[in-house]
Amino acid sequence: MPSRERSAKAGAKAPAASATSKKSSGAKRPKAKSKEKGSRPGQRNRPAATSGVVPSPPTPDGAVKVTFLGGLNEIGRNCACVEVDGKILLIDCGLMFPDMDMLGIDLVLPDFEYLRQNADNIVGCICTHGHEDHTGALSFLLRELSFPIFGSALTLGLARNRIEEAGLSSRTEFNVVKDGERRQIGPFDCEFIPVTHSVPHGFATAIRTPQGVIMHSGDWKLDLTPVDGRLTDLTRMGSIADQEGVRLLLADSTNACEKGHSRSESTVGKVLYDLFHEFEGQRIITTCFASHVHRVQQIADAAIAFDRTIATMGLSMKKNVKLARELGLLDIPESRLRDIAEVKDVDPAKLLVISTGSQGEPMSALSLMAANENKFLTLTEGDVVIMSSHPIPGNEANVTKVIDGLTRIGVEVIHSGIEDVHATGHAKKEECKTLLSITEPEWFVPVHGEYHHMAAHARLGRQMGVPEDQVLVCEDGDQLIIDDDGITRYPKAVPAGYLYVDGIVGDVSDGVLRDRRVLAEEGVVVVIVGVDVTSGAIITGPEIITRGWVYAPEAEDLLDQCAEEVRGSIKEAFQNDATDIETLQRHVRRAAGRFVAANTKRRPMIVPVIMEA
């Protein structure tokens, strides 16, 4: 059984709340005490996804489970599930883009093993908003499981693109929910509360359970002047807190370390307008997230104000603009749009291109332009590129490389370090405190962020009056049991390793990644020897082949010395009556390894190849 952290209740027990009662066991419940056994800083180098029987803590009658499969101690892979009476409701199912040391990896997914073993019990997945770190793993999970998906029309439209590309539309149902709607999903009474984020039509979710209301903030911010006028509904959150109480708050921690309030998205529009005025008469290329519909709208508004033709570049940008226009979320006249393949006859001074590639992705449209390899557009001196975004942590090097490439061409690059061309979509400190003040949660678990983000958010929770022992900093794989006595935390109760995608899913283990790192950092030395084990003679070799250790044409003497060292070790093995290939391989590996380390202070991968005559 996993180790257990138990919350003992101070005072008499309160009865379990009904999902339909007006006054559930939320903030009004007598405070429970928890005894947390230390929040452990998470390790980023996690084990790969596992398979096998998943141990599950016992669940008392009437209790509720919350399990974290991703999104804690990282940016991405957001995935959690709430469990009532054996039925599971997923909250998001996202992917993560690989770190630089994940060589050859395309994507990183949550470990699905817990979900596989409870496949028949999954009643649905709530997608809080349309970013891929919250929806992108659905097109992989649906290959094995089948369940309905719930979200706004835009969120489901963005998720549908990937799911249809994977040919999995028949394995799910797309259920559109509207602002303020309540929907019964299995045993879960869910209310969808509008919040503002960088992608439109995101939701916070109030999930009514037998143990009170679990409120999940989704990704959110307080924007009092949003582009579409759709505000974060703090009034409804406060009403739920006052009438029912919030038993557990799960809230976005991404910007919990940042002082003050986030800027309104609408302030970016004024900056963009001024830039279009400053660079009137020059070709302008802008880049932003393809899902950032409000940013695209403000870019288009500035272009139209200066009588420019608009073209999109990049498949995701083209698809998302088409979808947003169909849903009435993007207002760009058809007469202003031109296909990127047909812009050669457009006066460059009257052209705006909205491109993908804001994160410096190697094969994105902007990266290809920076390398002069884009088939639609060749940048020249005098062009202007406005990067209306901010690098995601880990992408800084790629973005800098693109900026350098553009600058070498003679392009003027405007980015968020120069002008205020980007506004975050995540709540900062004062907004986080506002949410805690309004919802008055009995228990608080920061989610969505690196460990230091969640730790900072936990401090804000304590400042705002949540008892210290009722603020839990969890990690992926942790499971919470909510019952009448409080909340019990089971650290690492379920597998939550990385599921790597390299062409196909789950074909890469931690061992493969370690080998790739050794090859990338130290190189490889292959030693080929032909032997006759019967006579104990070396027939051919040793031949030394190397990549990444030394440059062979310039190191022939070193390679010859290495071969002599290996030859001597093999002869010694034969003198000691070694006749099996494994023993000879071990002698070759040790001899070559000692020689390489002694002469170059390096540790490349040594691959012995023994060919028997």
Please say if the pLDDT value at position 42 is more than 70. no
Residues ≥6 apart with Cβ < 8 Å to 57: 1, 2, 4, 479, 481, 488, 490, 493
CA 247 to each of CA 11, 398, 475, 611: distance values in angstroms, whole numbers, following the listed order: 17, 43, 20, 68
Q: What is the pLDDT of residues 412-441, one digit of tens each?
A: 999 998 999 999 999 999 999 999 999 999
Residues with a known catalytic role = 252, 426
Cβ count near 224 (within 10 Å): 10
Cβ count near 356 (within 10 Å): 22
Please say if the pLDDT value at position 200 is more than 90. yes
Domain 266-414 class?
alpha beta
**What is the mean predicted confidence (pLDDT) over 370-395?**
90
Q: What is the pLDDT of residues 76-104, one digit of tens each?
A: 999 999 999 999 999 999 998 876 666 66
Residue 352 corresponds to which tokens in the numbers above?
């705006």
Q: What is the pLDDT of residue 15?
A: 34
**What residues does each domain of the chain span?**
64-260+424-501, 266-414, 510-612
- Across all residues in the chain, what is the average pLDDT? 87
Domains 266-414 and 510-612 share a fold: no
Which alpha helices (DSSP H) does 440-579 contain, by range? 451-463, 510-521, 556-575
Residue 415 corresponds to which tokens in the numbers above?
């980015």
**What whole-number percentage of the chain has pLDDT above 70?**
87
Which residue in 30, 1, 19 sits closest to 486, CA to CA?
Answer: 30
Residue 228 corresponds to which tokens in the numbers above?
């579409």
Please say if the pLDDT value at position 203 is more than 80. yes
Q: What is the pLDDT of residues 256-288, one digit of tens each?
A: 999 999 999 999 999 999 999 999 999 999 999
Please say if the pLDDT value at position 48 is more than 80. no
Please say if the pLDDT value at position 43 is more than 90. no
The pTM score is 0.79
Predicted confidence band at 7 (pLDDT cuts at 50, 70, 90)?
very low
Q: What is the pLDDT of residues 462-511, one digit of tens each?
A: 999 999 999 999 999 999 999 999 999 999 889 988 888 776 555 566 66
DSSP-based three-state secondary structure for 55: coil
Q: What is the pLDDT of residue 26?
A: 39
Q: What is the pLDDT of residue 314?
A: 92
Integer-rounded Cα Rg, in Å, for the chain is: 29
Q: What is the pLDDT of residue 513?
A: 66
Please say if the pLDDT value at position 543 is more than 50. yes
CATH of range 64-260+424-501; options 3.40.50.1860, 3.40.50.300, 3.60.15.10, 3.30.465.10: 3.60.15.10
Q: What is the pLDDT of residues 387-412, one digit of tens each?
A: 999 887 777 888 999 999 999 999 99
For residue 545, the surrounding DSSP H or E stretch is strand 537-547
For residue 337, the surrounding DSSP H or E stretch is none
Fold held by 510-612: Ubiquitin-like (UB roll) (3.10.20)
Predicted confidence band at 597 (pLDDT cuts at 50, 70, 90)?
confident
For residue 353, the surrounding DSSP H or E stretch is strand 351-355
